[in-house]
Structure 1
Amino acid sequence: MIKLGDKLPVFELENQHAEMFSSTTIESKAVVIYFYPKDFTPGCTAEACEFRDKYEDFKDVGAEVIGVSSDDTVSHAKFSKRHKLPFIMLSDTKGKVRKQFGVKSSLMGLLPGRETFVFDKSGSLIMRYNSIKSKNHISKALKALTNE
């Protein structure tokens, strides 16, 4: 499990374009990595669209946004296109990265958890927020980045 102050783990997953993405490509950037249960569900769509609507605010503070779920790349491509998501969507179909970050299931293990991690430019974890409700993930992440 990742704790405050820990470094961004090294991992590789396919993005929504079925291209390999490595966390090593974002080592000198601040990054928000949010794990969510499922594409096209109401809460997950609301969360993704709020990240989309605030994306320029994240870019203004030098941060990249990355969404991660167990959906495959085809689902991510459709989800990203339908909602005009400008950020990276990663497919963790085997739950390897979810486990690496220590994201626990919610609702008595029925749903994959919803958790947001914010890493500063040096790659250190400065915020970890866990709530199955999509509300507050975006505002808390932005606040963590602007209060660095």
Structure 2
Amino acid sequence: MQVGEVAQTFAATDHRGEPFDTAAFRDKRPVVIFFFPKAFTTGCTRQACAFRDSAAAFQALDAEVIGVSADPPEVLRDFAAKYNLPYRLVSDADGSLRKKFQVPRSMMGLLAGRVTYIIGRSGRLLDTYNSQLSWTQHVTVARAALEAESKAPAGAQATTSA
């Protein structure tokens, strides 16, 4: 997916057992989807907690935040409970969402990629950020892209570049 293209949508059940469809957010609110390798690991915990710590900022931007990993739903429930994560977590045990979003593997193909997709209210991709080690930078890039979109004139497409 390239910046400016209409982003993929998907239907899923979150860690609380609640079904949702990202297509329902189109033309209503922006969406931040962050893919992370594995719950309870150092980098993933720091990344998830950084999104948690910025929840008020994302709420002020009316953004829906969704975390995706290959962990099973029960692990994601425990992860969300332990770290008080206020957003949806989705299990992608079969890798279909990673494939749909073209999330590359990293570290010589050994690790599932850590990529964040920032989707504007219109459903178009505003920006992406791909970094296995800059865990909290995913939040910074997502907020900057959404803030730029919120300040852009109607019909204009605001993008940032990481």
- TM tier relative to shorter chain: over 0.9
Percent same amino acid at aligned positions? 39
CA distance in structure 1 between the partners assigned to 2:54 and 2:90 by the alignment: 19
Q: Which residue of 1 aligns with 2:94?
A: 94
Please list every run of 5 or more consecutive structure 2 residues that lacks an aligned counterpart in the other structure.
150-162
Question: Is 1:3 matched up with 2:5?
Answer: no
CA distance in structure 2 between the partners assigned to 1:70 and 1:26 by the alignment: 23
| Superposition pairs of residues 50-129 of structure 1, within 5 angstroms | 50-129=50-129
Misfit runs of 4+, over 4 Å: none
Question: Is 1:146 matched up with 2:111?
Answer: no
Please list every run of 5 or more consecutive structure 1 residues that lacks an aligned counterpart in the other structure.
none
| Shift in Å, 1:45 | 0.2
CA distance in structure 1 between the partners assigned to 2:50 and 2:136 by the alignment: 9
Deviations 1:11-60 (A, max 9, x none): 12221023333212222210110000000000000000010000110110
CA distance in structure 1 between the partners assigned to 2:24 and 2:86 by the alignment: 17
Deviations 1:60-93 (A, max 9, x none): 0111110001111101100000000000101111
Are the aligned partners of 1:13 and 1:92 in contact in 2 as well (CA < 8 Å)?
no
- Which TM-score applies when normalising by structure 1? 0.95
CA distance in structure 2 between the partners assigned to 1:94 and 1:12 by the alignment: 14
Higher-Rg member (1/2): 2
